[in-house]
Each structure stands twice: as structure tokens, then as C-alpha cells.
């Protein structure tokens, strides 16, 4: 079965995932998952712990390349080009598809150096240009006012929520088209979480966002589309309001109504 | 049956006895472990104090700068101090690039498998070779086969082979101490593996790496057996003792301590031996303390983290 949202116009499909399988050694972690990710929308991936949603999202910017025992089959198309094609450089893929991790992972460098890490890596050397980029990215991540007076202090002195917004700013500085977020608020307190959620609402004006979350409330609050995973299978995908009010699959309904997970 | 009929007070009393016994055991264990730990400190303090007591009388500007004497009293250790640093620096120039590169390869590139196991097995085997055996190997290869006679270069190359495994391990461990989330963060920003290593991993590892290198520098500084038959037990006369050439006999301070006691015929052998030992010990302690300070400084410098 192919999971498509009936209303999704092919013109607005940013990423098209077809028959994706991920294996860790002999463990079959993702089974034949297909999903269309709409441009400039927030797509939430929900499901109980261990259902494969993190494994799925890591396949979207080839992070599994870093894990020797992981193997990926199927296609993941970004604007029509399969990112697993032999001719595609994973470095370019990750440039276009950025990622924010579960735990804030700033580099042990200054706030400024964290933000401009990507641009510097891609060859930008002009100090004024880097400074402008840092300000632009930090403003977009709603962190500028809190850190503008201590840009050259260590990023490790920031609070967890600030560190996570710094990690988002660091991704924005690379100017990606898609931002993947793997439970970005799970290590944060409620206030920091709501700041991240507000930020995601802002970001979808310019970026395509795919977010893994273990919180159904969070998915309901911030996402336009929701995909439900169970035991490595993508069970159902639809608009968030449909998934939460009129799920088609029995298992989705059981999960939404709290019967397991 | 009797268990079930015990009164509540009796059960409480019994459990209090149990708690008391366990507390006593806990105190005993804590005391023993503390004693073991403090004896390390006392041993070091006694050792340093004794060497200081014996050696301090010998220390003078003349002693630290004068050339050694073969027959008469009043010899110094100037050239030996110079040679110790000379051989140390030469050894680190050879060892550090190879060891750090191998460490990077093993930690960041090598996949678990036959080749990585081979490299690690070789390094471990090399690390178990006694230094006197390494010295005799150096004698055969550098002194006889290459015909360099006793030379600073032969000594440094012997020490390179001797310390390569330890420094490789230190490098690997310094890199392993960097959390993998930093590598992921860097790769996810579109950095290549090489950029990730040079810009994210190495700056985070520079503190432990420096500490490791300086500690091994202390070992190189104090190494004796491997140098007796390679760098030799003599220095050139006059200004030649401070020559920059690596092709000259270069007795180090540690070798001098051994040599004066074992072979020398000068009348003030005890004075020279004790004074040299004190200088050597002070230098090695300085390396250990320096390792911490420099490591800490570099960590703050490169990572902004206190």
C-alpha cells in the first residue's frame, strides 16, 4: 500500500520516500515505508518508543552512512533526485537537508563559532559576511537578543533550551531547504519546549520541517501532516486533523486514544 | 515458625544489629581504601623528600653548567641537561606525527576487522618489549649497521620505536573521549569526514592529547636503558658538547645518573649522582605538573570550556 495524502499536489512534494527499508545488521528496523513530505509544511512522525521513527528520519539525510552496520534500500527523492544515487555526494545532501538532534550538541566553541561552523566549512572566510550570517541565523532561531552580548563566550554555558535553539541557528546558517528534527524538545523543560514549538511555526514559512516527536500533543500543536509508525512500519499518514480525529487504521486509533505506547 | 512469631520490637532490634554490622563493614572498607590511597601520596612525598635531602647540597650554578669530569672531582652536568632536552625534542618530532596519525586512523577511519586488530596487536606487542632490548636493537641497527657510532639521532630513533605504541594509544584515547554527538553534528552540517576531524574532533581532543604527550615526554626524559648503547655514555669535550649535530655521542641526565654510580671513578661520585638525580626528578615532576597546566590551558583556548 502506498500512503499518500489525497490532497497533496505533486508540485508541492519536497521529499518523496519510496519503499524505504533500513537494516541494522540482521534487524529489519524500517519495513517498506513510503511517504511524501510536503514543501514548507511541518510533517510529524509519531509512534511508540522503538517504532523506528528516529531510524526513518536519519535516512532522510544519509546519517546512516556513519553507522557501518546500517543498510538502507529504497529511494529518497529530494526535488526529484534520489539522494541515495551513486552520483550524489552525501555532503551535498546534508547541506540541503539539515538536522537537529534529540540532545542539544553544540561544539565546545564560542556561540559565534558554533553558528558559522557550517559556512566556514563550506569555504566562507569573509569576517563581515560570517558576522552577518551569525546575526541572521540567531535572529531566525529567536536567540539573538539573549546572546548578542556574549557571542564569543562558550556555547556550553547556555541553558539546554538556548543550546537547542543555537543548534537550530547552526543549521539555519547552512541555508538548508529541509530541516529534520529528532525529538528536539525531549530533553527540555516546558517553557523551553514552547519556545522551540513557536520557532518551528515560524520556520515552516521558509523551510520544510520533518519532526519526530513522542508527544502527540506536540504533533497536534505544530504539525500540518502526521505519519504514524508502529514496529518499523508506516501505518498511516494524513493531515494532522484527520489523523487525530478520523484515523482510518485501527492501530492508529488505538495509539491516538492511548491504548498503547 | 519462630521467624513468624517474633515481636515487632525483636524484628526492629535484629534489623538494627544488621545495619550496625553493615555500617562497621562500610567504615572498615572505607578506611582500608583511604589508607591505600594515602600511602601512594606518602610514598611520593618520602621519595621526593629523600632525594631532595640528598641532592640539594650538590646543586650550584657551577654544577648545572659545568661539563662532566672523568677523573677529578668537581664535574657538572651542563651538557647532560642539554642532551636530555635535545633527544627529547628530536624524539617527539619523530614520534608525535606518526603516533597521532595512527591514532586518528584507528579511532576515526579503521573499521573493526583484521587490519585494525593487526595494528593494535603490533602496538601492544611493541609496548611490551623491555627498553634494554630496544637499546640493544638500536646498537645493532643505528650504531653498527648504519655506522653512526653513539649518536643523539640513534638514541632518539630508538626512543621513537619505544614510545610509539604508548603515544599512539594516548592519541586514540584522546580522540575516543570526544563524544560521537559532535561528529554527528558536524557531519549533519555538511562537513566532510576530514573537516569533522580537523575542526570538531581534534580541537576537542587537544587537552587530553597534550596531557598525554607531555606525560610521555616525562618518560622519554627519564629513559635510561635504551640510551646507554645508542646515544652513549659520553659527551664531546669543550664547546663540542653543545653541538647542534645529531651525529655526536649524547649522554643524557638519566644515563649520567646510572653511569656515575656504575662506571665512574671520580671521587665525588655520590655528590654528582645525588645532584643529578634531584635535577632529573625535578624535571620529570615539572613535566607532570606542566602536562596538567598546559592541557587545561589548551582546552580552554580551543573549546572555551573551563
pLDDT confidence band for A2 (50 / 70 / 90) = very low
Q: Which of A8-12, A54-58, A108-112 has the lowest mean pLDDT?
A: A8-12
Q: Cα separation of B165 and B127, whole Å? A: 6
Give the pLDDT mean for A206-220.
93
Range A10-103+180-256 classified under CATH 3.40.50.300? yes
**Is pLDDT of A4 > 60?**
no
Give the pLDDT mean for A3-24.
79
Decide if A101 and B185 are in contact by the 8 Å CB cutoff. yes
**Is pLDDT of A191 > 60?**
yes
Regarding the domain delimited by B59-303, which CATH topology (the fold level of the hierarchy) does it fall under? MetI-like fold (1.10.3720)
Task: Name residues whose C-beta falls within 8 Å of residue A115's C-beta, 6 or more positions apart in sequence.
Answer: A133, A134, A137, A138, A166, A169, A170, A173
CA-wise closest residue to A214 among A101, A45, A60: A45
pTM of the full structure? 0.81
Per-residue pLDDT reduced to its tens digit, B130-170: 999 999 999 999 999 999 999 999 999 999 999 999 999 99
What ipTM describes this predicted complex? Answer: 0.89
**Is pLDDT of A1 > 50?**
no
Going from N- to C-terminal start, the domains of chain A cover 10-103+180-256
Give the pLDDT mean for A6-27.
84
User: Which residue in B has a C-alpha nearest to residue A151's C-alpha?
Assistant: B304
What pLDDT, on the 0 to 100 scale, is given for residue B76?
86
**Is pLDDT of B128 > 50?**
yes
Give the pLDDT mean for B73-77.
85
- Give B-chain residues touching A68 at CB under 8 angstroms: 111-112
Per-residue pLDDT reduced to its tens digit, B243-297: 888 998 899 999 998 988 888 888 888 888 899 999 999 998 888 888 888 888 8
Q: Which of A173-187, B7-21, B30-44, B167-181 has the lowest mean pLDDT?
A: B7-21
Share of chain A above pLDDT 90, in %: 82
What pLDDT, on the 0 to 100 scale, is given for residue B1?
47
Higher per-residue pLDDT: A131 or B237:
A131
- Give A-chain residues touching B306 at CB under 8 angstroms: 154
Alpha helix (H) ranges present in B148-268?
A: 152-176, 180-188, 193-195, 202-222, 225-228, 253-262
Per-residue buried b or exposed e for A93-112, using 16+ beta carbons within 10 Å of the residue's own CB: bbbbbbbbbbbbbbbbbbbb
Going from N- to C-terminal start, the domains of chain B cover 2-56, 59-303
**Is pLDDT of B177 > 70?**
yes
What pLDDT, on the 0 to 100 scale, is given for residue A260?
62
- Give B-chain residues touching A174 at CB under 8 angstroms: 189-190
Share of chain B above pLDDT 90, in %: 55
What pLDDT, on the 0 to 100 scale, is given for residue B306?
46
Per-residue pLDDT reduced to its tens digit, A47-73: 998 889 999 999 999 999 988 889 999
Give the pLDDT mean for B103-109.
92
User: In whole numbers, what is the pLDDT of chain B averaged over residues?
Assistant: 89
User: Which residue in A has a C-alpha nearest to residue B200's C-alpha?
Assistant: A107
**DSSP assignment string, A2-58:** ----TT--GGGEEEEEEEEEEEETTEEEEEEEEEEEETTSEEEEE-STTSSHHHHHH
- Give B-chain residues touching A121 at CB under 8 angstroms: 186, 189-191, 195, 199
What pLDDT, on the 0 to 100 scale, is given for residue A11?
63
Per-residue pLDDT reduced to its tens digit, A222-234: 999 999 999 999 9
Q: Cα separation of B109 and B106, whole Å? A: 6
**Is pLDDT of B106 > 80?**
yes
What pLDDT, on the 0 to 100 scale, is given for residue B163?
94
Distance (Å) from the C-alpha of residue B204 to the closest C-alpha of chain A? 7
Alpha helix (H) ranges present in chain A?
A: 53-58, 90-96, 111-115, 117-121, 127-140, 144-147, 160-172, 190-203, 216-222, 240-245, 250-256
**Is pLDDT of B71 > 90?**
no
Q: What is the DSSP letter of B111?
A: P
User: In whole numbers, what is the pLDDT of chain A averaged over residues?
Assistant: 91
Which residue of A112, A117, A175, A180 to mutate against B (max B Cβ within 10 Å)?
A117
Give the end-to-end CA distance of chain B in Å, rounded to a whole number.
63
Amino acid at each position: 500500500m502506498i500512503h499518500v495524502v489525497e490532497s497533496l499536489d505533486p508540485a508541492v512534494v519536497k521529499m518523496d520516500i519510496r519503499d524505504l527499508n533500513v537494516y541494522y545488521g540482521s534487524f529489519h528496523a524500517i519495513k517498506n515505508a513510503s511517504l511524501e513530505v510536503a514543501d514548507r509544511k511541518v510533517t510529524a512522525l509519531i509512534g511508540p518508543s522503538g517504532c523506528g521513527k528516529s531510524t526513518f528520519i536519519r535516512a532522510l539525510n544519509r546519517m546512516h552512512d556513519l553507522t557501518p552496520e546500517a543498510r538502507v534500500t529504497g529511494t529518497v527523492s529530494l526535488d526529484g533526485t534520489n539522494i541515495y544515487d551513486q552520483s550524489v555526494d552525501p555532503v551535498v545532501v546534508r547541506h540541503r537537508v539539515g538536522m537537529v538532534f534529540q540532545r542539544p550538541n553544540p561544539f565546545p566553541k564560542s556561540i559565534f563559532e558554533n553558528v558559522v561552523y557550517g559556512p566556514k566549512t563550506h569555504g566562507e572566510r569573509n569576517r563581515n559576511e560570517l558576522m552577518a550570517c551569525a546575526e541572521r541565523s540567531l535572529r531566525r532561531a529567536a536567540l539573538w537578543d539573549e546572546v548578542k552580548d556574549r557571542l564569543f563566550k562558550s556555547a556550553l554555558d547556555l541553558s539546554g533550551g538556548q543550546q537547542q535553539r543555537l543548534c537550530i541557528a547552526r543549521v539555519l546558517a547552512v541555508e538548508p531547504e529541509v530541516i529534520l528534527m529528532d525529538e528536539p524538545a525531549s530533553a527540555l523543560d516546558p517553557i523551553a519546549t514552547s519556545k522551540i514549538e513557536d520557532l518551528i511555526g515560524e520556520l515552516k514559512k521558509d523551510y520544510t520541517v520533518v519532526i519526530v516527536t513522542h508527544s502527540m500533543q506536540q504533533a497536534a500543536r505544530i504539525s500540518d501532516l502526521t505519519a504514524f509508525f508502529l514496529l518499523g512500519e508506516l501505518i498511516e499518514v494524513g493531515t494532522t486533523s484527520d489523523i487525530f480525529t478520523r484515523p482510518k487504521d485501527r492501530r492508529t486509533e488505538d495509539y491516538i486514544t492511548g491504548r498503547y505506547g | 515458625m519462630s521467624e513468624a512469631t517474633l515481636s515487632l520490637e525483636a524484628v526492629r532490634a535484629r534489623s538494627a544489629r544488621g545495619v550496625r554490622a553493615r555500617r562497621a563493614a562500610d567504615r572498615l572498607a572505607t578506611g582500608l581504601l583511604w589508607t591505600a590511597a594515602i600511602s601512594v601520596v606518602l610514598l611520593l612525598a618520602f621519595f621526593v623528600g629523600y632525594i631532595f635531602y640528598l641532592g640539594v647540597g650538590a646543586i650550584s650554578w657551577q654544577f648545572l653548567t659545568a661539563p662532566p669530569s672523568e677523573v677529578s672531582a668537581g664535574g657538572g652536568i651542563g651538557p647532560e641537561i642539554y642532551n636530555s632536552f635535545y633527544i627529547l625534542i628530536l624524539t617527539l618530532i619523530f614520534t608525535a606525527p606518526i603516533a597521532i596519525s595512527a591514532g586518528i586512523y584507528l579511532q576515526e577511519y579503521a573499521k573493526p576487522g583484521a587490519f585494525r586488530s593487526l595494528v593494535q596487536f603490533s602496538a601492544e606487542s611493541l609496548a611490551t618489549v623491555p627498553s634494554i632490548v630496544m637499546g640493544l636493537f638500536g646498537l645493532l641497527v643505528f650504531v653498527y649497521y648504519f655506522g653512526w657510532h653513539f649518536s643523539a639521532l640513534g638514541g632518539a630513533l630508538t626512543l621513537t620505536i619505544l614510545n610509539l605504541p604508548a603515544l599512539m594509544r594516548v592519541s586514540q584515547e584522546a580522540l575516543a573521549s570526544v563524544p560521537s554527538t559532535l561528529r554527528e553534528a558536524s557531519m549533519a552540517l555538511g562537513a566532510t569526514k576530514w573537516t569533522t576531524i580537523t575542526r570538531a574532533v581534534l580541537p576537542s581532543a587537544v587537552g587530553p592529547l597534550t596531557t598525554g604527550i607531555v606525560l610521555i615526554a616525562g618518560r622519554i626524559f627519564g629513559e635510561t636503558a635504551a640510551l646507554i648503547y645508542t646515544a652513549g655514555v659520553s659527551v664531546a669535550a669543550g664547546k663540542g658538547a653543545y653541538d647542534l649535530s645529531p651525529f655526536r655521542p649524547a649522554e643524557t641526565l638519566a644515563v649520567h645518573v646510572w653511569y656515575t654510580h656504575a662506571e665512574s671513578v671520580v671521587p665525588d661520585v655520590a655528590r654528582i649522582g645525588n645532584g643529578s638525580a634531584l635535577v632529573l626528578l625535578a624535571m620529570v615532576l615539572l613535566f607532570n605538573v606542566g602536562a596538567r597546566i598546559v592541557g587545561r590551558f589548551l582546552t580552554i583556548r580551543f573549546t572555551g570550556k573551563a
